[in-house]
Structure 1
C-alpha cells in the first residue's frame, strides 16, 4: 500500500489536498524544522530535474539554493529559511536560484510559509515557479527600454546639435557650444581643430569634463604646426568621409602616425585612452577635425556612437560651409552697400554726418539712401530717399533713382519742384524701379549766412529742424506724391517748392521711415519720440559734434527691423566764414561715413563759384532761375 492509499483511508479532505499538490502547476517542497525535505510534488521534480527519492531527507538549502552563477549561498543569508529561524510570517521573493540536477540554475519566484501541526511549528512549505520566461521577458524589455533611451538620447543630441548649428554664424562660438553638448555625453573631452582656407594654421578649441558636477572647461590654442612630411597623411584623413579610431597607446608607440603630431599632445595633457576623429567636410571643402575622447575605465565608442559622431561631423561641416557662404555674401553685400552710399563733401563751415543701419537680414542691403553733393551753381544738395523693397534688387533700383537725381540736379539749374517732375518722368519711362519716397533740398546762402533751405518732399517723412536752443519743428511744406506714382497714374500732381530759414548753429535731420516707424510703433509716435530725443540731446550736448549727435540719437531711439538712413547738417555760427571773420573754424568734418573709405565725395575736386545770396528773392517767391 503506497502513501496515496494511506491518505485515501484516512480522510476525504486529505485525498483532495494530496490531489491538489500533485497536480498544482507550481513546485511545492516541504521541510521539517531542521530544513530536511519531507515532501516534493511532481512539478517540483520537473522544474528541478530531480526525482523525489533523491531529494527526500536531504537538506533543502545545501542541495538546492544557489546564486545565479551556481555559487553557494551562505546559510545565514538565506532569505528562504526565515520561517525556520523563528519568523512567524510568510516570505516571498523573485531573486533566488535553485540548482537543477544537470548543474544549471533556474530563477524562481517563490513563497515560504511556516508549517504548523496542532499549533506547533513543524517546518515550512515552499511554493515556487520557474521565473526564467518572465526574467527573460523583463531583460528583453529592459534591453529594449535601454536601447530606446539610448536612441532617444542620440536623437536629442542630434536635435540639440542641429538647433545650435542653425542658430549662429560665428564658427568659434559655435565650436565652444558644440563641444559643451558633446562633453560629457559622448566623451571626457572633445576638441575642434578649425583650419583656415588653404592653410595649415588655425585654432583649436578644447572642452574637458570636470569633477563634482562642475561645468566643462573650455580651452583655446593655435592648432599645432605640422611638419611637411605629416601634411599629406593629414590631407588624406581630412578629405575622407569616414571617422578614424585612435588610442593614446598607438600614438605614443608610433610618432610618425598621421595623428601623432596633432593629437598626442591632447592625450598627454588631458589624459584618455581612446578617441574618435571625425573629418569636417562639406561641398568638397575641408574645415578641420572633431575629436571626442574617453578616459579611465570607459569603453571605446561603440559603432552606434561612432555613426552618431560621424553624422554630427557632417552636420558641423555643412554648418561651417554655410557660415563661409554667409560671410562671403555679407562681404559682397557690405561692399555693394558702401559703394552705393555716398561720401559726404566738405562745404565751407557746414558740417554733415550720415549713418546707415541695414535691416536685420544677412544681406544687409536695401533701398534706403542718403546723398549730399555740390551742384554746378555752388549750392549744396541734400537727399534722403527710400525705394520700395529690402533686397539687392531694391538697392539696384535705389542706385538708378539716385544717379538720375544727381544728373538732373547737376544739369538743370531749376527749382527742386521742377527737378522732382523731371525725375518722376525719367523713373517712369526709363527705369523699372518701383515707387520711391524722397526729400530733395538745396542749402542756399553765402559764406557767413544767412542760410535757407529750399526743398520738396515726395511722400517722405518731413525733415526735422532743431535750433541751438533745442526748439524743434518738422518742415511739413513742399509735400507732393511719391516718385513713380503721378506719371504712371496720369494724376497731374506736382511738388510745391518750400522755403525755411536755417538758424545759426541749428541742426537739420533728414531720415527714412525706419527711424520713426516699426511694427510695434506707429509713425506718429515715432515722430514724437524723434522730436523729443533730438530736443533733449541738443540741450544736453551743446558744443558736441554732429557725429556725436547722430550716434546718441540712434542709441536712444534704437530702431530695429527696417533699414535706416540718417543725414544731419549742422549750420555754422552767425557770420562764421564771412569776409573779415577771424573766429576759428569748427572741428573738421568727421571722416566717419558708411560709404567706402577710398571714395571721394562727388564734386569734391571741382572748384565751385560762390553762390549769390538768394534770401531776398526767396521771400518774394523764390530765386530767379536762369
Structure 2
C-alpha cells in the first residue's frame, strides 16, 4: 500500500519537474532574448553615434530593429506634427514590392483608427485582433491584411515625438508581454538616438549657414567674363571649414580670382579665412601688381598682424591680350587650375607651387602664364573636391577632369553644380569651386570688338 501511495507522488513530482524545466527554459529564452535585444539596442545607438547618420536613416534603423527584436513581418514609425495631433511623417518597412505597388496612390496614414488611439492615449497598445478593436477603422484598398498590432509612444524631452508600431509576428502568434517589454525598451533608446540625430542635423545646418554667410556672393555683372561658384560643407556636424573663393573686376580691366583653404575645420579657421580674404580684396583692388607680388604682400601682412593658420591659395588674373586673354597666376601650395578650351579635353596647368601662406615670408613667389582662347573655362577648386581615403590625389584629379570634360558645354552655373554633385571625393572635407569663362568676343588692345570670333580663328588663336 505504501508503494501504491508513492507512485502518484512520484508522478506528481515528475510533472512538477517537467513544468519547472519548461518554465526555466522559458525564462532562459527570455534572458537570451533580452541579451539579444540589449545588443541590438546598443548596436542601434552606436550606429547613430559613430556614423552621424541623418534623421531619415535613424528612423529606418529604429523600425528595422523593432521588427528584428520581436520577429515581426511589418513595422512603421509615425512622426507627429508640431501640435501632436496627426502623423506628419510615416516610415513603413517590411512591405513587398507587390504590396508597395498595390498601395500606389493611397494616402499615407495621418493618425486615425488604432493609430489615432495611440496618439490620443500615449501608452503601450497590444492588440490581438485589429478588426475587433472598437477604434479600428479598417485598411485602405491594397493594404496587406493585418491582425495583430503592438505600438508604443516615443518620448523625447518630455514630449511625444511619435509612435513605433510592429505587426504580424512571423510565427503567427500574437504579441505577448515580453514583446511589449522589448519594444518599450527600444522606444527609450530610439528617443535618445532621434534626439542626437536631430541635434546633428541642426548643427550641420547651422554650420553650413555660417559658412555660406562667410563665403562672398559673386558680382552680378562680370562682362566680358562669366563667373560661377559652388560650395558644399563637409559631412561632419559642426564642421566649419576655411575654404573660400572670390572674384572681382579690377581697374586695369582684368579679372582677379582667388581660391584658398585655411588649415583647420573650426571657427578659428573660418575667422582666419574671413580676415585673409578681406585683406586680399584690398590688395587686389589697390595694387596693379602680378599675383606673386600680391601673395607676398598678403603673406607679410598676415604674418605681421595675425596668428592665422597656414593657408593654401591660388591667385589668378585674366588679362586682355590682342587676340584673347592671358591667365597669369601664382600658387601658394595650392592645386593647379583646370583648363577647358572650347571643344577640347580638360587639362591641368601644373607648375611647382610655392610655399603656402604662413610658412616662410622670405621665400620668393613666382608667376606663371598661359594663353586663354575665347570661350575657355578655368576651374579653381579646393582639395575637398577630389580627396578620397581610398585613392590618390592624382586619381581624384583625373576623375574631376573627366567629369569637367563631360559637362563642358553646360552653362557655367550648371557646370559647377555638376562638378560638385558628381565630385570624386569622400565628402569628409569642405568643397569649393570657382569657374571663370571667357566670352566668345575677342579683344583688341584691351577693347571689345563687335565681331564674333569664328571657330577657325579660335583654333588659330589657341594654337598661337
TM over 0.5: yes
Please say if 1:500 is aligned against 2:375: no
CA distance in structure 2 between the partners assigned to 1:294 and 1:552 by the alignment: 46
Please say if 1:581 is aligned against 2:464: no
Q: 1:223 aligns with which of 110, 116, 119?
A: 110
CA distance in structure 2 between the partners assigned to 1:554 and 1:220 by the alignment: 36
CA distance in structure 2 between the partners assigned to 1:371 and 1:573 by the alignment: 23
Q: State how many pairs are aligned.
A: 432
**CA deviation profile, 1:495-528 (whole Å, cap 9, x unmatched):** 2333332222322222222344443333345445
**CA deviation profile, 1:188-238 (whole Å, cap 9, x unmatched):** 76553311234534134456899xxx99x9997242369xxx99x967x54
Please say if 1:182 is aligned against 2:74: no
Aligned partner of residue 23 in structure 2, secondary structure: helix
Aligned partner of residue 282 in structure 2, secondary structure: helix
Shift in Å, 1:414: 3.5
CA distance in structure 2 between the partners assigned to 1:580 and 1:428 by the alignment: 44
Is this contact kept in 1: 2:228–2:416, CA < 8 A?
Answer: yes
Q: 1:567 aligns with which of 415, 425, 434?
A: 434
CA distance in structure 1 between the partners assigned to 2:312 and 2:319 by the alignment: 23
**CA deviation profile, 1:410-439 (whole Å, cap 9, x unmatched):** 344433233222322332233332100001
Shift in Å, 1:541: 6.2
2:424 maps to 558
CA distance in structure 1 between the partners assigned to 2:420 and 2:277 by the alignment: 24
After superposition, the Cα gap between the structure-2 partners of 1:493 and 1:181, relative to the gap in structure 1 and judged at 3 Å, is closer
**CA deviation profile, 1:363-386 (whole Å, cap 9, x unmatched):** 454222222122354432111111
Q: 1:362 aligns with which of 227, 237, 247?
A: 237
What TM-score do the two structures reach when normalised by structure 1? 0.58
Please say if 1:148 is aligned against 2:28: yes
After superposition, the Cα gap between the structure-2 partners of 1:571 and 1:310, relative to the gap in structure 1 and judged at 3 Å, is same
RMSD: 4.2
Q: 2:263 aligns with which of 381, 384, 388?
A: 388
Whichever of the two has the greater Rg, that structure is 1
1:279 maps to 153
Matches within 5 A, 1:505-516: 505-516=375-386
**CA deviation profile, 1:279-326 (whole Å, cap 9, x unmatched):** 211223320222456799956632x44332221111112222222212
Is this contact kept in 1: 2:230–2:420, CA < 8 A?
Answer: no
CA distance in structure 2 between the partners assigned to 1:357 and 1:328 by the alignment: 16
CA distance in structure 2 between the partners assigned to 1:291 and 1:511 by the alignment: 48
Matches within 5 A, 1:110-259: 132=13, 140-164=20-44, 166-167=47-48, 169-172=53-56, 174-183=58-67, 185=70, 190-201=75-86, 202-205=88-91, 221-224=108-111, 237-238=121-122, 243=124
Greater RCO (Cα-Cα under 8 Å, separation 6 or more) = 2
1:71 maps to none
CA distance in structure 2 between the partners assigned to 1:431 and 1:198 by the alignment: 50
Is this contact kept in 2: 1:463–1:476, CA < 8 A?
Answer: no
2:4 maps to 48
CA distance in structure 1 between the partners assigned to 2:386 and 2:57 by the alignment: 34
CA distance in structure 2 between the partners assigned to 1:550 and 1:522 by the alignment: 22
After superposition, the Cα gap between the structure-2 partners of 1:183 and 1:521, relative to the gap in structure 1 and judged at 3 Å, is closer
1:622 maps to none
Aligned partner of residue 183 in structure 2, secondary structure: helix
CA distance in structure 2 between the partners assigned to 1:334 and 1:526 by the alignment: 24
After superposition, the Cα gap between the structure-2 partners of 1:558 and 1:294, relative to the gap in structure 1 and judged at 3 Å, is closer
Aligned partner of residue 194 in structure 1, secondary structure: strand
CA distance in structure 2 between the partners assigned to 1:530 and 1:292 by the alignment: 46
Shift in Å, 1:141: 4.5
Is this contact kept in 2: 1:333–1:363, CA < 8 A?
Answer: yes
Aligned partner of residue 344 in structure 1, secondary structure: coil
1:472 maps to 347
Aligned partner of residue 29 in structure 2, secondary structure: helix
What TM-score do the two structures reach when normalised by structure 2? 0.76
Is this contact kept in 1: 2:320–2:443, CA < 8 A?
Answer: no
Please say if 1:431 is aligned against 2:337: no
Shift in Å, 1:272: 4.1
Please say if 1:462 is aligned against 2:336: yes
